[in-house]
Structure 1
Amino acid sequence: MTILLDVINGLNKFLGFLDISPKYSNRAYTLLSIIPTVYILRIVYGLWLNQNYIQLVIYSLVFIGLVYFIVLNFFYYFLDKNLKGDITQLFVKYLPDDAFNIQNEESKKQKKVFEQAEEVPVDFNEDYQLILVENIQALIEGKEITTRDLTKQEGFLIEENTLYPYYYVKQIDAGTYQLQIGKNYRELETIGTIRQSEPLRPIGLFIVGGDFVKDGVRYHEPYRLKFLAKKEEATAVTRTRRSKK
């Protein structure tokens, strides 16, 4: 058993040195997990011959569990499918996102940016969603907005916090701005008005909603836009007030 663990540990370190994508490394780990599973089966067979039924039950449960997860991983990493009996989906469903270490450095930086931002209310025109849908469809067809394959994975067609590529904030007067979007910068249309007395420091215009798949069922949610601007720093406001005093 010690030799087997040493071999597995050595292979694990070897895979760690290779600069390969997580998809293929997980495939390798799935195949690697067959080795201890077969060894557990050998132990189960020996316990059955020796009529040691208590340990036989324990090792049999371990063997069944290992086979179960090998099958799940095989379908997920080799066939890009989730089985209906996949209990890991329960953890994904009920545990918070912070419980899973799946964020890369880019997403962490993005989260930090959004912590410094606030959503700015926009008085949208009545038909702005019709314009938005037409523009998004054209941008998807032009491959300027990336989408996920909803036949292979669940979630929204357009990933959360996707930046709308062509927008412009036009200042009309001291506290009024027009929000314009388009399929490119040559064809911009006004879709709403922003009224704000403080200086506006835009961070981005983000797409929210759209088609999504949950529990194997596809739903449609209207697209909408979320306009974010940088927050006014409280410390700066405090210093300004003190200077006035």
Structure 2
Amino acid sequence: MINHYLGYVNLNVKLKNRIYTVLGVIGDIYLLYVSIRWIQNGYALRGSLILLVALILAYFTVMNVFYYFTEKKPPFDVSPKIEKVLGKTLGGTDPAAEAERKAAEQARGSNNLLNGANIPANGYFDSKKILPGKVAVDINQRTNIARLADQLQQMNLMAPDYGGLGARELGQQLKQHHKPIFAIGLGVNIPYFELQHDGNDLVVYAGINQAQKAPMGKITTVGLQPIDDVYDKVKLYLANVILVGGPFMELGRNEPIEKQAPYTIRVQLAYEREATEPETSHSTVSDPVGNLSTHTLHHAQPMAAPTSRMKRYH
């Protein structure tokens, strides 16, 4: 019942396990009391069996106290051996492999990070003409992003639960990959977003829907080039916007510890070259998303597409 009611409250993994440990201590004390009363009333065998169970549970309770309330390594910890034996005898899988599998499901699952195989909310763009963009965020825009994150969580469109991984699984992943693990995984799709011109600035607007959109940041870089260098050379469109950041786990001295990071956004931009006057002579032109290079411009032929392409968010 307690586990059921705690499900209504969004608690981090460590706090929830601390609550379970305290409840385990109370339950174990009760079992010890019951076993002693059985023995005092002449039921030695029955009382001894209950006492044996209480002592075994007391051992694991002490292990949990060390694990969740201190940074010390518990003495005589047999849990890794038990986990290994049960995995072999009951047909279990390797813990590290299972943790990796759950992480992969998390990336594909509840938070639905869109990748090249899916079509984002703004439609489909040719992956060869998509570049990552960097976004500058001021104080007001950061507040808008935090408000959007709260709305997504309240509407069950975002689950900051580490994909359901427990503390041990998180610890195994952190030891193996040496990278922080965010509660929302690789990111969460934002339901609505658009790009608006504000003078010479390109501002990202996003929200739960078009009616509740708000400014989330200003585009500063497209690919490797500052926005000022490409603003009048290409047309830019928002291909995708995701919410990233928030609480994350990193490896402490003996166990994973949770820290807080602000939510922010990452963007992908699709580009389309502005129309150019046909020429027949050799000239040097600037690639809006690459370096200066020499092109031979033929009559009525468009410029070649840039060779750089987006392989991942950065």
Q: Give the TM-score band, short-chain normalised.
A: 0.3 to 0.5
**When the two structures are superposed, what TM-score results if normalisation uses the length of structure 2?**
0.31
Higher relative contact order (CA 8 A, sep 6+): 2
**When the two structures are superposed, what TM-score results if normalisation uses the length of structure 1?**
0.38
